[in-house]
Amino acid sequence: MSNKQRPSALIMLFGATGDLAKRKLYPSLYRLYKKGRITERFAVVGVARRPLTNEEFQKHVKDSILTHIGENTEIDQFASHFYYHSHDVTNTQSYRDLKTLAEQLDEKYSLEGNRLFYLAMAPEFFGTIAEHLKSEGLTDTRGYKRLVIEKPFGHNFESAQKLNDRIRTAFAEDEIYRIDHYLGKEMVQNIEVIRFANAIFEPLWNNRYISNIQVTSSETLGVEERGRYYETSGALRDMVQNHMLQMVALLAMEPPIRLTTEEIRSEKVRVLRSLRAMSKEEVNEYFVRGQYGAGEVNGEDVVGYRNELNVDPESNTETYVAGKLMIDNFRWAGVPFYIRTGKRMAAKSTKIVVQFKDIPMNLYYNPAEPLQPNLLIIHIQPEEGITLHLNAKKSGKSSTIIPVRLNFANKSVDRMNTPEAYEKLLYDSMRGDATNFTHWDEVALSWKFVDVISDVWENTKEKSFPNYPAGSMGPKCADELLQKDGNFWWDVEKFVIETC
Ligand code: NAD
Residues 349-398 have pLDDT tens digits of 999 999 999 998 888 888 888 899 999 999 999 989 999 999 999 888 78
Q: What is the pLDDT of residues 133-158, one digit of tens each?
A: 999 999 999 999 999 999 899 999 99
- Rounded to 10°, the helix 421-431/26-34 angle is 70
**Whole-angstrom Cα distance, residue 392 to residue 389?**
10
Mutation pick for ligand 1 pocket among 12, 19, 89 (CB with most ligand atoms within 8 Å): 19
Percent residues over pLDDT 90 in the chain: 86
Nearest residue (CA) to ligand 1, atom 32: 122
pLDDT above 70 covers what percent of the chain?
97
CA of 18 to the centre of ligand 1 (A): 5
What is the pTM assigned to this prediction?
Answer: 0.94
Each residue's pLDDT tens digit, 244-261: 999 999 999 999 999 999
Q: What is the position in ligand 1's atom list of the atom closest to the CA of 16?
A: 9
Q: Which atom of ligand 1 is least distant from the CA of 229?
A: 34
Q: Give the C-alpha separation, 265 to 439, whole Å.
A: 7
Based on its alpha-carbon atoms, the radius of gyration of the chain, rounded to whole angstroms, reads 24
Measure Cα distances from 173 to 135, 168, 284, 378 in Å.
18, 7, 35, 32
Rounded to the nearest angstrom, the distance between the alpha carbon of 123 and the centre of ligand 1 is 8
Could you read off the pLDDT of 407-448 as tens digits, one per residue? 999 864 444 445 578 999 999 999 999 999 999 999 999 999
Question: Using 50, 70 and 90 to split pLDDT, how confident is the model at 499?
Answer: low
CA separation for the pair 221, 209 (Å, rounded): 36
The per-residue pLDDT for 379 is 94
From 132, 181, 243, 389, active-site residue: 243
pLDDT of 414 reads 44
Asked whether the predicted pLDDT for residue 404 surpasses 50, the reply is yes
Distance 121 CA to ligand 1 centre (A): 3
Q: Is residue 482 classed as helix, strand or coil in its secondary structure?
A: helix
Pocket of ligand 1 (CB under 6 A): 15-21, 23, 48-49, 87-89, 120-123, 150-151
pLDDT, one tens digit per residue, over 214-253 is 999 999 999 999 999 999 999 999 999 999 999 999 999 9
The H-or-E segment that residue 148 falls in is: strand 145-149
Out of 13, 14, 20, 97, give the residue to mutate to test ligand 1, the one with the largest number of ligand atoms within 8 Å of its CB: 20
Q: How far is the CA of 21 from the centre of ligand 1 (A)?
A: 8
Query: Residue 86 contacts by C-beta under 8 Å, 6 or more apart in sequence?
Result: 48, 49, 50, 51, 52, 94
Q: Is 243 assigned a catalytic role?
A: yes
Tell me how far apart the alpha carbons of residues 255 and 477 are, in angstroms, rounded to a whole number: 35
